[in-house]
Amino acid sequence: MATVLYEKDVDRSQIADRKVAILGYGSQGHAHALNLKDSGIDVRVGLREGSSSAAKAAEAGLRVMSMAEASGEADVIMLLLPDTEQGDIYKDHIEPHLQSGDALFFAHGFNVRFDLISAPEGVDVAMVAPKGPGHLVRRTYVEGGGVPCLIAVGQDASGSARDLALAYADAIGGARAGVIETTFAEECETDLFGEQVVLCGGLTSLVTAAFETLCEAGYQPEVAYFECLHELKLIVDLMYEEGIGGMRYSISDTAEYGDLSRGDRIINEDTRAEMKRILSEIQSGSFADEWMSESRSGRPNFLRLEAEGQQHPIEQVGAELRAMMPWISEGRQSVQAVSGGQGKE
């Protein structure tokens, strides 16, 4: 079992006198920057020229400058930009300013795990990865709590990279909830696997296929939507709060018997074999190569698949039904509105 670290295990002096640069002001960027600021850390935000996030960051009381200026001024640099862009940003805006004793931080292991970024020998390389979206990292911190974090060390030039990463995690609220040590490889490979097989790829494909099966059998699309997508949140919330056993305790005996006796007909040996193939593609680096190549070529396949998903009947039916249930989003902004239309960085 992993050891969980808390505030009592942190030496906050490791980061107290450091100058931190947050590159990017998207979901994670705004949360890290504001939490660090509220923790008394000397923080500045580095953004692209003309970034629409500059005004938001400035209004929040943060110092805003170019990425090169922020990298030159700081001795701890946290990259919170899309995986596919980090390599070029590192070469153009960070690498020329790195000095011995600096620290380069990541919130995801992708670029280090697949050797897309390699820091000089005298620079610490570490990861602090909150296990939750940026809005929760910020909200829970403000409320006095935090989101659990993973930390890892890729290069320990100073001999204290691990303690610095732990102090950073504490400063954004992670040590309030718990911090677990991992490696860049473990975090990256399990994160990609979870996204592709369960959280995103597996889940959306399962929901869509079930919706299509019911519609093709003559059932109303609205009823199919409720059964295959809408009620999913109820089950996931129960699993989130009480685990699989707690969910099964809460549902009807009929539902539980259907779960226990039919689930492995959906997730069968063929499915498990495909999961292993996907994991192998991640471990070998072939997925990373494919994704980087796709991005460099303008993302034609990505954009085609994204458009096809947006045009699927389940999205049209869902939009109409959600309009009938305003309480679902009452008091909340859409993810598109929160990002200001500037993407996911």
Q: Give the active site residues.
A: 108
| % helix, strand, coil for the chain, step of 5 | 60, 10, 30
Show the beta-strand stretches assigned E in 98-221.
103-106, 124-130, 149-155, 179-181
Question: What's 47's DSSP letter?
Answer: E
Q: Which long-range contacts (CB under 8 A, 24 or more apart) does 283-287 make?
A: 283/189, 285/114, 287/192, 287/196
The helix/strand/coil state of 290 is helix
Q: Are 124 and 161 in contact (CB under 8 A)?
A: yes
The helix/strand/coil state of 17 is coil
Question: What's the CA gap between 269 and 313, in Å, rounded?
Answer: 30
